[in-house]
Amino acid sequence: MLKHFCNVVAAITLPVMAIASTTRIQSPDGSIEMSVNLNDSISYSVAKDGKIIIERINIALSPEGAHTIGVNPRLKKVNRKSVNETVTPAIPLKHSSISNTYNSATMQFADGYAVEFRVFDNGVAHRFVTSGKGDANIINESYNVTLAGPAIAHIQQPWGFKTAYEEAYTHIPLAEWKYTDRMATLPALMENEDGTLMLFSESDLSDYPCMFLKGAPGNSFSATFPRVPTAFGDDGDRSVKILQEAPYIASTKANRTYPWRFVAIGSPTDIMEQTLVCQLSAPSEIDDTSWIHPGTASWEWWNGATPYGEDIDFESGFNMDTYKYFIDFASKNDIPYIIMDEGWAMSTRDPYTPNPDVNVHEIVRYGKEKGIGVFLWLTWLTVENNFDLFKTFSDWGVKGLKIDFMDRSDQWMVNFYERVCREAAKNHLLIDFHGAFKPSGLEHRYPNLLSYEGVLGMEQMGGCTPDNSVYYPLIRNAVGPMDYTPGAMISMQPECFRSERPNSAAIGTRAYQMALFVLFESGIQMLADNPTLYYKNPDCTEFITSVPVTWDETRALQAKTGEYALVSKRKGDKWYIGGITNGKEKHRTFSIPLDFLSPGMSYDMTSFEDGANAHRQAMDYRRKNRSVDSQGTLDVKLARNGGFAAVLTPSAR
């Protein structure tokens, strides 16, 4: 579970006789300072290394029929606290042990509310805390941000609140982002003129809608939220139409804490290493997590379920023989799960009647015999209409559910995610959300939630390019697990790209695909391609099936926003390296100091590198073996849309 071990906590209560104009809070290392200003409203500015980078963030909360929280604030007291604790996440995607060190100030106001501010060495956060009895309707929450100077906004812009968070990023000067333009999802990345990054997102989201952003005059933007839906109409087997909305964004308890709004601040490598969503999330609600096993999965949908070759004497497709073949492949390669996507049931609306061509009960039995767990795909609407299915599937022996097509972020849908995770946990079922919004802390409260899609991933074929995906370590994957579904064995450069199932392909080199398994984070990491192609590429298969999905330590090595990202990760005494680049240059070269390795030890390194012609023929790669140690430097050359992947194992003595 997510545990907090507190080493040092110092609390100071400072009574305030009158409204203080400014309260300053510094990060533990002194590099970041937040100045909270009280006058006719509550706002704060943020400085890094003595330079203002966020000129102002105005905040307020508007309950129906009550005084707007944050307007004409009357400060009663300030409680200051310094915390230095260790957090151990149940699913450690970056670190098995996280240092959670910050200084905070909780400001209590006369109208019965408080605002808590936290300042970390790599970011800032705030949240509202309200008291009262019964329920409250929240008309709006204000979060109006003005940066201290020009910036580039790296944002995902849907056409409305109905979105699966799968749009490609746009990159526009912040001052040119107009209120009438398309809104943006969180997380949103702002890059100022000196390259400092500010990643805006939220954590501890519960019983409340997701935040979106709208452009504003100047170097500014503001929050906007979907309203509470109150009436629905039919819209097919995997969605509903919203026919009516309430005039408020949430109907919730009057006595509660609200979601954290945070900004991670620093260089590209700082953003890649930060873990603020985890640090700001509520603790796990699952006491015994011993049944939760992250891992890889073989998935049939992307490749069309069409294994072929000399060892295939049956007609492949969505049938019993094919699924058993996938299970055999998983068993031979230590892949703990298979995913059964759409088609395993007779109807997408009926989760209890299996398609006789794929007899789920026999597949689950066969998987258990081979040590392989089975995930079943479902639409969210079918889950909602059959909420007792969790116990039924657990009784069947199913290990997890892939739930799809939510495509909404309003309070009702946020609560649906939570209800699913809670009920699944009661029945020891794992969850993978597709058609989903971004991670916002629920995965730490319920670590049986292994991953979310909410990304323009490889299932979009030619729409998924390295030029877009290279931003993920700094934006989408920087806030939590991401089901990108990597693993293509047919690699192409974009100018010659062709892909159609069953001959599915991906843009980027073979080494690029290998690197994604190290670089991208997910509690359930797919092997999206055909078992036949994995058998034909045993060296690649051996590598990607050996890459862990949880880690003891992560170190970002080198990164440049939108151009390249390289990382090293440790599991036990083994280190892995993964790096990718965009299509801007024919080749890029990097020199990587290996000082993260244990001193005095020699390591055997097996690497997968772009071949001499990978910039044209993306299938060209080289597998190399060499000995390295902490005193050495690794020279790496990446082709355009290329990558590098390696495993470093202590040499036998």
Q: Rounded CA gap, 497 and 484, in Å? A: 19
What pLDDT was estimated at residue 652?
79
**Pair 2, 98: CB distance under 8 Å:** no
**Pair 554, 599: CB distance under 8 Å:** no
Could you give the angle at the alpha carbon of 488 between the alpha carbons of 485 and 491, nearest 5°?
135
Amino acid at 458: M
Taking only the tens place, the pLDDT of each residue in 206-229 is 999 999 999 999 999 999 999 999
Is pLDDT above 80 for 262?
A: yes
What's the rounded mean pLDDT across residues 408-424?
98
Q: What is the DSSP letter of 418?
A: H
Alpha helix segments (H runs only) across 183-333:
268-273, 276-280, 320-332
33 is catalytic: no
Tell me how far CA of residue 17 lies from CA of 14, 75, 105, 468, in angstroms. 10, 8, 17, 53
- Which carries the bigger pLDDT value, residue 1 or residue 61? 61
What pLDDT was estimated at residue 421?
98
585 is catalytic: no
Is pLDDT above 50 for 42?
A: yes
Q: Rounded CA gap, 408 and 421, in Å? A: 17
What pLDDT was estimated at residue 50?
97
**Pair 296, 336: CB distance under 8 Å:** yes
What pLDDT was estimated at residue 17?
36
CA 162 to chain centre: 19
Question: For residue 417, what is the enclosing H or E element?
Answer: helix 411-426
Query: 3-class DSSP state for residue 63?
Result: strand
Is pLDDT above 60 for 431?
A: yes
Q: Rounded CA gap, 428 and 560, in Å? A: 41
- Which carries the bigger pLDDT value, residue 3 or residue 137? 137
Is pLDDT above 80 for 259?
A: yes
Catalytic option among 116, 166, 191, 459? 459
Region of 313 (left: φ > 0; alpha: ψ -120 to 50; beta: rest) is alpha
The number of helix segments (H) and strand segments (E) in the chain equals: 12, 40
**Pair 458, 484: CB distance under 8 Å:** yes
Is pLDDT above 50 for 14?
A: no
What pLDDT was estimated at residue 430?
98
What pLDDT was estimated at residue 631?
96
Cα-Cα-Cα-Cα dihedral sign, residues 489, 495, 501, 506 = positive
Is pLDDT above 50 for 8?
A: no
Binned at pLDDT 50, 70 and 90, residue 21 comes out as: confident
Q: Rounded CA gap, 496 and 522, in Å? A: 30
Catalytic option among 273, 404, 443, 610? 404
Q: Domain 3-280 - what CATH class?
A: mainly beta
What pLDDT was estimated at residue 10?
40
The pTM of the full predicted model, rounded to 2 decimals, is 0.96
Taking only the tens place, the pLDDT of each residue in 555-594 is 999 999 999 999 999 999 999 999 999 999 999 999 999 9
Is pLDDT above 80 for 368?
A: yes
Cα-Cα-Cα-Cα dihedral sign, residues 72, 75, 81, 86 = negative
Taking only the tens place, the pLDDT of each residue in 182-210 is 999 999 999 999 999 999 999 999 999 99
Q: What is the DSSP letter of 49?
A: T
Q: CA Rg, the chain, in Å?
A: 25
Beta bridge partners of 79: 13, 106
**Pair 583, 467: CB distance under 8 Å:** yes
Residues 6+ apart with CB under 8 A from 369: none
Is pLDDT above 90 for 12?
A: no
Nearest Cα residue to 609 out of 629, 586, 587, 636: 636
Q: Rounded CA gap, 376 and 430, in Å? A: 10
Taking only the tens place, the pLDDT of each residue in 241-250 is 999 999 999 9
Binned at pLDDT 50, 70 and 90, residue 357 comes out as: very high
What's the rounded mean pLDDT across residues 390-401?
98
Token pair in block for residue 592: 């990587």
Q: Rounded CA gap, 564 and 347, in Å? A: 44
What's the rounded mean pLDDT across residues 630-653?
95
Nearest Cα residue to 539 out of 571, 504, 514, 573: 514
Binned at pLDDT 50, 70 and 90, residue 428 comes out as: very high
Taking only the tens place, the pLDDT of each residue in 467-522 is 999 999 999 999 999 999 999 999 999 999 999 999 999 999 999 999 999 999 99
Q: Rounded CA gap, 122 and 277, in Å? A: 12
Taking only the tens place, the pLDDT of each residue in 518-557 is 999 999 999 999 999 999 999 999 999 999 999 999 999 9
Q: Rounded CA gap, 557 and 577, in Å? A: 9
Number of CB atoms found within 10 A of residue 196's CB: 18
Q: Which CATH architecture has domain 295-550?
A: Alpha-Beta Barrel (3.20)
Tell me how far CA of residue 615 lies from CA of 91, 290, 475, 534, 641, in angstroms. 37, 45, 26, 23, 8
% of the chain exceeding 90 in pLDDT: 96
Q: Rounded CA gap, 68 and 60, in Å? A: 7
Taking only the tens place, the pLDDT of each residue in 90-120 is 999 999 999 999 999 999 999 999 999 999 9
Token pair in block for residue 68: 């707007």
Is pLDDT above 70 for 2?
A: no
Place of tokens 């970011």: 123
- Which carries the bigger pLDDT value, residue 12 or residue 302? 302
Which phi and psi angles does 524 have, rounded to 5°? -135, 110
Which phi and psi angles does 103 have, rounded to 5°? -110, 140
Could you give the angle at the alpha carbon of 16 between the alpha carbons of 14 and 20, nearest 5°?
115
Q: Rounded CA gap, 240 and 313, in Å? A: 43
Q: Rounded CA gap, 163 and 157, in Å? A: 9
What pLDDT was estimated at residue 653?
63
Is pLDDT above 50 for 1?
A: no
Q: Which CATH architecture has domain 564-650?
A: Sandwich (2.60)
Is pLDDT above 70 for 9?
A: no
What's the rounded mean pLDDT across residues 364-372?
98
Beta bridge partners of 650: 603
Taking only the tens place, the pLDDT of each residue in 271-286 is 999 999 999 999 999 9
Token pair in block for residue 354: 């299996």
Each domain of the chain, given as residue ranges in start order, spans 3-280, 295-550, 564-650
Number of CB atoms found within 10 A of residue 311's CB: 11
Is pLDDT above 80 for 376?
A: yes
Strands 75-88 and 98-109, how do they pair?
antiparallel
